[in-house]
């Protein structure tokens, strides 16, 4: 049972435009969410996170939005740059107990120059 | 900078062989994790450890075991490798809740691509 879903396996966006990556979750006990970025032949690197007490978190070109009622989060990248081409994973965690992360299946973002 | 290293980038093994994947972190992190990444399935947690000699099963522990004899090192063991264990294996570490950090992230190594023939 996939508790964290990324329904778009791939996304292509023109350089300079906005990239929007989406993530849905089913477990209402999740209350901390993260986005990771992964280049080929490298491990994932942390990008941005959001706690369930917020609905938005911003860091430079990256903004994450959380809609708890819809169990949906999205990552906005603006403006998109060629170096943003990578696979993006969203992940979710309980804020109690252990620190296990549940990952989505990933979205491959391609920025077209 | 946190450094997580994995012993091999690429590994080819035969069915039935015992395989050891090693992971070392240099930041005195308490928590360590082993994942596998497969196309269309994302990252799935195999095992994790909160402390030396402690381990907990993740979502897909069957066919694997782990060892954590020292804080900085976390080993993944495939007791008898099978072709369905061909995958990318990723190790990660994080600081640990006991230090008052409740929201810190996991830091990943570069991965080991394992092919079982």
Q: Which range has the worst mean pLDDT, A16-30, A72-86, B88-102, B103-117?
A: B88-102
pLDDT(A96) > 80: no
B10 in A contact zone (CB under 8 Å): no
Nearest to A43 among B56, B105, B110 (CB): B110
Write the CA distances from A48 to A32, A59, A62, integer angstroms: 11, 7, 8
Residue B69, judged by CB atoms within 10 A of its CB (0-12, 13-18, 19+), counts as exposed
pLDDT average, residue stretch A84-105? 87
pLDDT(B97) > 70: no
Contact: B43, A44; criterion CB under 8 Å? yes
Q: What's the whole-number average pLDDT of chain A?
A: 93
C-alpha torsion sign, points B52, B54, B60, B64: positive
Q: Which range has the worst mean pLDDT, B4-18, B64-78, B99-113?
A: B99-113
Q: Judge whether B45 and B37 are in contact, CB under 8 Å.
A: no
% of residues, chain A, pLDDT over 70: 96
A105 in B contact zone (CB under 8 Å): yes
Nearest to A32 among B44, B103, B109 (CB): B103
pLDDT digits (tens, 9 = 90+) for B32-63: 999 999 988 999 999 999 889 899 999 999 99
Write the CA distances from B12 to B9, B34, B61, B82, integer angstroms: 10, 19, 21, 12
- The Cα of A83 is separated from the nearest Cα of chain B by a number of Å equal to 18
Q: Is the peptide bond before A79 cis (omega within 30 degrees of 0)?
A: yes
Report how far residue B92's alpha carbon sits from residue B15's, in angstroms, rounded to the nearest whole number. Answer: 26
B111 in A contact zone (CB under 8 Å): yes
pLDDT score, position A75: 98
Identify the band that residue B105 occupies on the pLDDT scale cut at 50, 70 and 90.
Answer: confident
Residue of chain A with shortest Cα separation from B88: A41
Identify the band that residue B99 occupies on the pLDDT scale cut at 50, 70 and 90.
Answer: very low
Report how far residue B61's alpha carbon sits from residue A85's, in angstroms, rounded to the nearest whole number. Answer: 32
B109 in A contact zone (CB under 8 Å): yes
pLDDT(B101) > 60: no
pLDDT score, position B96: 74
Report how far residue A75's alpha carbon sits from residue A20's, in angstroms, rounded to the nearest whole number. Answer: 6
With contacts defined as CB-CB under 8 Å, which chain B residues touch A95?
A: 102
């Amino acid at each position: 049972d996939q508790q964290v879903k990324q329904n778009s396996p791939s996304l292509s966006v023109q350089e300079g435009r906005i990239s929007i990556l989406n993530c849905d979750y089913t477990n209402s006990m999740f209350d901390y969410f993260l986005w990771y970025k992964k280049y080929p032949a490298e491990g994932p690197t942390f990008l941005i996170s959001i706690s369930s007490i917020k609905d938005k978190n911003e860091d430079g070109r990256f903004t994450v939005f959380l809609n708890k009622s819809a169990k949906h989060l999205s990552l906005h990248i603006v403006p998109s740059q060629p170096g943003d081409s990578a696979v993006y994973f969203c992940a979710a965690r309980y804020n109690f107990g252990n620190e296990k992360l549940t990952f989505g299946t990933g979205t491959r973002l391609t920025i077209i120059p | 900078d946190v450094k997580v290293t994995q012993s091999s980038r690429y590994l080819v093994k035969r069915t039935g062989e015992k395989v050891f994947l090693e992971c070392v972190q240099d930041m005195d992190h308490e928590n360590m994790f082993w994942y596998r990444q497969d196309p269309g399935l994302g990252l799935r947690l195999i095992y994790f450890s909160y402390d030396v000699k402690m381990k907990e099963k993740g979502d897909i522990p069957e066919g694997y075991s782990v060892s954590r004899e020292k804080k900085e090192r976390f080993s993944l063991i495939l007791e008898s490798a099978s072709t369905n264990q061909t995958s990318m294996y990723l190790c990660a570490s994080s600081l640990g809740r006991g230090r008052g950090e409740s929201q810190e992230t996991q830091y990943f190594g570069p991965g080991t691509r394992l092919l079982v023939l």
